[in-house]
Amino acid sequence: MNQFISFVKKEFHHIFRDKRTMFILLGMPIVQIIIFGFALTNEVKNSKIVVLDQSKDATTASLIQELSASAYFEIEKPIYSNDEIEKIGHKYFFLSSTVIEPVALNTCTIEKDYGTDIKTFDEKKLLTEFASLNMHDWSGATWPPNIVHKDVWDLIGGYSIEFTPGMYSDPDFSMKLWLAGVRIFKGVSASRVYHFGSVSVKRVKQNKGYYTFVAKWGITQNTFSKYFLRRGEQYTGPLKEPSLAKTKKLNNIFKQLKAAFYREPA
């Protein structure tokens, strides 16, 4: 017992003699108490949220007002409801978002540069400006992000595997929808998404979807998009059956023959 007491005394003398050890033993716990006790907190404050109010009555209005007045939540922006779908009145539709790109490749997209990759992406500027960018609802939607009714998806079997890894799978999907009776191919201006521009496409070996599409449907993707879907035109309602000129029909027959004899290089 005497040896133990002597050992303890010796250690205390050693600790009190070393100022660095004293700081670690006594100073650090005090600093941690101050930081965790006052500077850090797990209380939720100014948490950014969005609200989808489908009821639009006095009760939900009061609830939204209380959330806005609270210091705990910050309503960042309103989001659009499913009114766009419900006003169609049936399940035969294809709705697509409007794409914002650094360089617009067609008349269906909005050209505005907020970055070409995740490193240069200016999210704050996009969220500030995206709603004010000029664009109208447009016809001829074929690409994601999109929405179709699940019954129609099951009816046509989704996207076709022969277009893997994806080249021309979008117009093929829309062609199957067209044959199933869909005539609403609408690009919704109010629904917007930012696209860096074909980043993932560059990572894969592209298939010859052009020839696959022509061989399968007997017309080119361009003919389908321009004359059937009226891509890029201002949306005015359900599409009508197209009337192709004889020269266009002959051109598609020639393309079909070319596709029949096409052989992908080894």
Structure tokens that stand for 264 in this block: 């992908």
Is pTM beyond 0.75? Reply is no
DSSP state of 93: -
CB-neighbour burial class of residue 46 (10 A; exposed 0-12, middle 13-18, buried 19+): exposed
Average confidence (pLDDT) over 218-227: 93
Q: Helix (H, G, I), strand (E, B), or coil: what is residue 264?
A: coil
- d(CA 195, CA 98) in angstroms, rounded, equals 10
- d(CA 79, CA 52) in angstroms, rounded, equals 6
Number of H helices, E strands in the chain: 11, 7
What's the Cα-to-Cα distance from 58 to each of 52, 61, 63, 70, rounded to whole Å?
15, 5, 9, 18
Domain ranges of the chain: 2-39, 82-260
What are the backbone angles phi and psi of residue 192, rounded to the nearest 5°? -125, 145
Report the C-alpha dihedral over residues 151, 97, 75, 42, rounded to 10 degrees.
80
**pLDDT given at position 255:** 85
**pLDDT given at position 73:** 77
**pLDDT given at position 266:** 52
pLDDT in tens, 96-147: 999 999 988 888 999 999 998 888 999 889 888 888 899 999 999 888 889 9
